Chain A
Amino acid sequence: MSEVVALVVLAACLAAAVARPRWAPDWGVAAGGAVVLVAVGILSSADARAALRQLGPTVGFLAALLVLADGCRRAGMFEALGAGMALGSRGRPARLLGMVFLAAAGTTAVLSLDATVVLLTPIVFATAARLRTNARPHVYACTHLANSASLLLPVSNLTNLLAFRASGLSFARFGGLMALPWLVALAIEWLVLRRSFAADLQRSAARSTRTVERPQLPAFALAVVALTLAGFVLSSLIGIAPVWVATAGAVVIVARERPAPKQLVLAAEPTFLVFVLGLGVVVRAASQHGLSSAVDSVLPHGTGLPALLVVGVVSAVVANLLNNLPATLIILPVATASGTGAVLAMLVGVNVGPNLTYVGSLATLLWRRIVHAHDEETDVAEFTRLGLLTVPASLIACTLALWLALQVV
């Protein structure tokens, strides 16, 4: 009975996050579900507290990163990136795609996939539109790289932040192990996009009559990001947790940009933070009541290449069925028991996997919501074809690269 109740509450959380009904906000359902599970005794309050203690620092880290990215936006970093991409493209779509790759890979790695999806992608669309070139390859590149370029650093994706804490790796070692898989993922995306849009990208020059403005470099924000990144890398040597480095970066950029208090709170996305905490508690309950042993029976327990490949593929499948955040919360405890290799292979699956389908999760439900919102057709077939070309290849090649890195680094 407890198993069923815990799974129903988990399903309700995910359904609310996907369908977004007005009367049941996802964060309310997740928080309420967690309270209900503790109230009826399915999860002991001690276990719930343990789950919150475990997630608390990660959620704080996430909040600091969201504020840092918002500060960069306020400082005009993304407009500068747009102007830089336009200038660097010299009006040639193929060069623009190269610029978009650099910007999206860098933004995702350093400021997280949220920054690429929410802040960079609209700028890329606007840049392509102003250059009078087909925006499709460039926007697709951003959407894909938000997932596949989020392999590199613990701060690149919330899934990485969760795994980073569980794995006990240092920031530098995490980046060192994931550098090769990250480069492999970028190379596969480049080859596939370049080939798929060869005709669109070959045209000699976009013919916008507008002159491209020189970008105004937001030097202060760039320096803060660079110092924060250096702080992350050195954190284990100095002996301070990376979350404090992120907090320091966020505080400095807030002091400089001075957003209104309400804007500052909104930038940290408090409802999302509550959702993550609530979901974490609900998944803990479901894991205790059968979900964990089910995952345990599916996941192999070695650290050899075949085991890592299976972990990656299973994680990708679960990420596509449920979305990568719940997938990580569910698989992570089992993968952690198998060691660092399994945790990082799981990340390859949950980070690269979502590119397979247009929505990366609960395909039909979310899909219907987006279609209803816009009442217009979207080229799902084309997007899915790109996913089929990149995801299976990336899963295998990145896991292979990870296995190599584990032997060497």
Chain B
Amino acid sequence: MRVVVWISEDTWEACVDQARSVVPEDAEVTLVHVAPSDVEDLASSGGARLLGRHPPPPPGPPLRAIADEEAQALLEEALNRLGRSARTEARRGKIEREVLDACAGADMLVLARDGEVRLGPRSLGPRTRFALDHAPCQVLLVWPEQPPGLETVPLPPYLR
């Protein structure tokens, strides 16, 4: 069994914890992190977006290096928390597409809700929603915190 665990900054602990308790011992686990390359481009190529400006690049490590370093550190922390052998994979690009790509040939994707803390469709952000809707495998959808109660489901007007 091949299992992909999507490691994202805000919700990775819950995914790793669920993977540890639900995924069988003999499963082949891959921890995947995706860095959104568009945000980094927006931040680093600002001068190119200003008409006629050609500012010299500021010294210091390029943003790509910072993003790569943080991704590796996060994956290592996740691996430690998982407490068993697993592959780690740091990807860059459009987040939801890269996650799907990583799921090719996998049997299960573990991902977390990243939206509002209440029951309902808004508990999923657009990227998580896309991955959930298009995943080519079984999906384990995790609440990053204690799941909210049924009272968070809004009642239709005639029942209020």
Q: Does A198 contact B (CB under 8 A)?
A: yes
Q: Does B55 contact A (CB under 8 A)?
A: yes
Within 8 A of B (CB), among A124-139: 124-126, 129-130, 132-136, 139
Note all chain A residues with C-beta closer than 8 A to B48.
Answer: 369-370, 373
Q: Does A213 contact B (CB under 8 A)?
A: no
Question: Looking at the complex, which of B18-26, B37-45, B103-111, B149-157 is the stretch in contact with chain A?
Answer: B37-45
Within 8 A of A (CB), among B1-58: 9-11, 13, 36-56, 58
By the criterion CB–CB under 8 Å, are B94 and A125 in contact? no
Note all chain B residues with C-beta closer than 8 A to A378.
Answer: 38, 41-42
One digit per residue, 1 when the CB lies within 8 angstroms of any chain B CB and 0 when it does not, for chain A 364-379 equals: 0010011001101111
Known: A132-B70, A200-B10. A269 touches B46 (CB 8 A): no
Q: Does B101 contact A (CB under 8 A)?
A: no
> Closest chain A residue to B41 by CB distance?
A374
By the criterion CB–CB under 8 Å, are A125 and B116 in contact? no
By the criterion CB–CB under 8 Å, are B53 and A125 in contact? no
By the criterion CB–CB under 8 Å, are B9 and A132 in contact? yes
What total of A-B pairs shows CB separation below 8 Å?
Answer: 133
By the criterion CB–CB under 8 Å, are A209 and B77 in contact? yes
Note all chain B residues with C-beta closer than 8 A to A121.
Answer: 42-43, 46
> Closest chain B residue to A73 by CB distance?
B58
CA distance A323 to B52 in the complex (A): 10
Q: Does A114 contact B (CB under 8 A)?
A: yes
By the criterion CB–CB under 8 Å, are A129 and B49 in contact? no
> Closest chain B residue to A93 by CB distance?
B10
- The distance from the CB of B50 to the nearest CB of chain A, in whole angstroms, is 6
Within 8 A of B (CB), among A7-27: 14, 17-18, 26-27
Interface range, A side: 35 or more
Interface range, B side: 35 or more
By the criterion CB–CB under 8 Å, are A122 and B43 in contact? yes
Q: Does A117 contact B (CB under 8 A)?
A: yes
Query: In the complex, which of the residues B10, B36, B42, B46 contacts A118, with contact meaning CB atoms closer than 8 Å?
Result: B46
Note all chain A residues with C-beta closer than 8 A to B86.
Answer: none
CA distance A366 to B48 in the complex (A): 9
Q: Which of B52, B77, B116 has the most chain A CB within a 10 Å cutoff?
A: B52
Note all chain B residues with C-beta closer than 8 A to A307.
Answer: none
Chain A residues with CB under 8 Å of chain B are 14, 17-18, 26-27, 30, 73, 113-114, 117-119, 121-122, 124-126, 129-130, 132-136, 139-140, 142-143, 146, 198-200, 202-203, 206-207, 209, 263, 266-267, 269, 271-272, 275-276, 279, 323-326, 359-361, 366, 369-370, 373-374, 376-379
The 6 closest A-B pairs by CB, nearest first: A125-B43, A117-B46, A378-B38, A275-B52, A199-B115, A323-B51
**Known contacts A125-B44, A132-B70, A326-B51; can you find 20 more A-B pairs with CB under 8 A?**
A73-B58, A114-B55, A117-B46, A118-B55, A124-B43, A132-B9, A135-B39, A139-B42, A139-B43, A140-B42, A199-B114, A199-B125, A203-B11, A271-B52, A272-B53, A325-B51, A360-B49, A373-B48, A376-B92, A377-B93
